[in-house]
Structure 1
Amino acid sequence: MAVTVACLVLTGCSENRDGDSLARDIAATEAALLDDDLGYRNRVRDAEYIAATEISKEVKGSGSTVRREPLGWSGRTAGSEQATIDVRFGVTVAEQPGVSFGDLGNSAGQATRCYRYLLELSRYTSYHEIDCPAIATPAVPTASPSPGLPDDGRERLAAALRTATPDTLVGTVRAAFPEKHITVDTVTHEGALVAAVGVPAERDCILLVRTPSGAIESPGYDRIWLEPGEMGCKTSLYVSPPR
């Protein structure tokens, strides 16, 4: 009886869980969390861009360290195409003794598990485990800038509207935004010059109006109207917005 009491008071009679097994479970949990983070894809992106911007990470928890790194990538999320990204999860857990009766401690351990993530436009990400390839130091992905509006886009459009006439409006605005990925929509409405320039794939849009008095105004609109299937970046955001 005295030995039993001493065991309960001093050590808790705890048992240690195998550290390697715990590390494997942590890797599986982190893989599921990454699947949630990648989530629903609503932008056209190369797999390398996603690998460079959304994958690499090191997480330090209570007694564990998780490192995830992309191993390979291909494709893109566009139309019916598919992006594929292979990710390696390396987990190290430190030894932790149990501190109370019934509390499981664990031995030191480590594990490496690999998963393949499949991403498609307008769909949720899916994933499954794969055998880890023998890659000691994987290549590092790079992220090319995604197409967008220029930083001085609002200033460009305002300057174009100030010099334009109803007859030269579309040409003046297009000359200010010659980039092929930028859409231009213009109209004259009740004496005002209206212009909308945007990048539909990125839901980027600048809408400005030159009033009959010559003032440049930026009318507000609900950004949900820029989503696929909605109005998009058009002058109708101002001229005939949804009711």
Structure 2
Amino acid sequence: MAPAHRPGRPRPGTRRRLGSAPLVCGVLALCLASAGCAEYGDGTSMARDHAASEAKRLDEKLGHRNRVRDAEYIAATEVLDPTEGGTSNVRREPLAWSGRTTGDEQATIDVRFVVTVDEDHGGTFGNAGHSAGQATRCYRYLLEFARNTSSEEIDCPSVRTPPVPVARPYPAMPDDARDRLAVALRTATPDTLAGTVRAAFPERHVTVDTTTHGKALVAVLGVPAERQCLLLVRTPGGAIESPAYDPIWLEPGETGCNTGLYVSPPR
């Protein structure tokens, strides 16, 4: 009579089948020995991808345009800005520019991205490294007033040494505007207020608006194209104050930079 079979033991005359665990462990050990089973990367391909990423990042940086600017000014102040990241060296070069952001006009800026990727020998888990590589890609950026920037890839021109854009200054509020306006308010009377403030600011690009409000003297300076505005009030007691206002009131279609900011602010 054959002995009873006990659960958990193989039947007589059968072989124990090897499970998959030893095989998995062997593969894992092999992967550990070869830096995590990762493949050795192509540096040139990485450089091309990085150049495309940098081009998109610049597109987002240039963003929505809300100031009148010529293309050369934008190229000098917002494009001519080399960056570095990780093992990739990035060179961002404005190649050509034209137009400006105003009315129906359009500013166009061509930019070359040159990316160099250093070789990485890897050695850590999951990193088999990659070769050295380099890539050059060019993009054209289109900028319009009150619109978001758009871009498209273009063929790179054969420009060895690109021109350097120059940022010519735009008219702005004088650095000492607050002090000059305060002095004018202290010396003015209701009858001489407008003439005194205008005389203190002969700059043609600075707008002047004055009024009286009760016994207070109100004066406002503005550089409309730059959304710059300075409001000061001489109270009946002689103190010079700078009342707060919402900057959105300076935008087109709002109150604007004038004495209405103080006399009749939006409610």
Give the TM-score, by structure 1 length: 0.93
SS at match of 2:161: coil
In the other structure, the counterpart of 1:48 is 72
Give me the whole-angstrom Cα distance separating, in 2, the residues matched to 1:71 and 1:233.
38
Task: Evaluate the alpha carbon distance shift between residue 101 and residue 155 of structure 1 in structure 2; reply closer, same or farther with a 3 A threshold.
Answer: closer
Higher RCO, 1 vs 2 (CA within 8 Å, ≥6 residues apart): 1
SS at match of 2:45: helix
User: What is the identity, as a one-letter code, of the residue corresponding to 1:69?
Assistant: E
Cα RMSD (Å): 2.0
- Alignment partner of 1:166 out of 165, 190, 198: 190
- Shift in Å, 1:59: 2.4
Greater CA drift, 90-99 or 64-73: 90-99
Q: Percent identity?
A: 69
Deviation by residue 1:197-231 (Cα, 9 ceiling, x = unmatched): 01112111111111222222211111121122211
Q: 2: CA distance between counterparts of 1:6 and 1:211?
A: 82
Q: Distance in 2 between matches of 1:174 and 1:125?
A: 39
Alignment partner, residue 11 of structure 1: 34
CA contact (8 A) 1:15 1:98 kept: no
1:92 partner letter: T
> 2:176 aligns to what?
152
- 2:264 corresponds in structure 1 to 240
Query: Which segment is superposed worse, 136-145 or 84-93?
Result: 136-145
Alignment correspondent of 1:134: 158
User: Counterpart amino acid of 2:187?
Assistant: T
Q: Does 1:123 align with 2:174?
A: no
Q: Post-superposition shift, 1:78?
A: 1.2
Q: Compare 17-26 and 108-117 and name the one that shifted more.
A: 17-26
CA separation in 2, counterparts of 1:132 and 1:148? 37
Partner SS for 1:45: coil
More strand by share: 1
Amino acid at match of 1:15: E
Superposition pairs for residues 76-91 of structure 1, below 5 Å? 76-91=100-115
Distance 2:43 2:231 in 1: 58
Stretches of structure 2 that go unaligned for 5 or more consecutive residues are 1-22
Task: Compute the displacement of 1:119 (Å).
Answer: 0.5
Structure 1: gaps of 5 or more residues: none
**TM superposition shift of 1:16:** 1.8
Supply the AA of the counterpart residue of 1:111: A
Q: Determine whether 1:202 maps to 2:226.
A: yes
Deviations 1:8-42 (A, max 9, x none): 23223432222111111110111001000000011
Aligned residues, how many? 243
Q: Which range moves more in the overlay, 106-115 or 61-70? A: 61-70
> Which residue in the other structure is 1:110 paired with?
134
1:154-233 alignment, distance < 5 Å: 154-233=178-257
| Superposed displacement of residue 113, structure 1 | 0.4
Q: What letter matches 1:11 in structure 2? A: S
